Amino acid sequence: MKQTVNLYHFRDAFKAHGRENQFSYGALDQLFSYFEAYEQDTGEEIELDVVAICCEYAEATLAEIVRDYSIDTSDIDKTDSDALFKCVVSYLQEHTEVIGDLNDGSKIIYQKF
């Protein structure tokens, strides 16, 4: 038996599993939209598995991603945040799925690899 989940239930499921600090509300909104679009595009229903989502997806700052994946940013001016953002997103897009970023570009939501 499957249950239809709206954004509120999606967010609440993370809290119920003790994972309310895993993603910001903005990131949860983008993940929810991503999964809804996937279901519509493929016709395949997705089962809500909070732990699996937490293991498979991340929300991280540019600096965290650069550090975690050893991205070479030596040719980028450290004061040029737009260039750094484009470099990190391009790297992620080559290796995985980028779900989105927070409106200020401070964090990126992506599928871990």
At 64-97, the pLDDT tens digits run 999 999 999 999 987 888 999 999 999 999 999 9
Catalogue the E-assigned strands of the chain.
Answer: 57-61, 98-101, 107-111
The range of the structural domain enclosing residue 52 comes to 7-111
103-112 pLDDT, tens per residue? 887 899 999 9
Q: In the chain, how many domains are there?
A: 1
Prediction pTM value: 0.91
Is residue 2 a part of any domain in this protein? Answer: no
Q: Is residue 1 part of a domain?
A: no
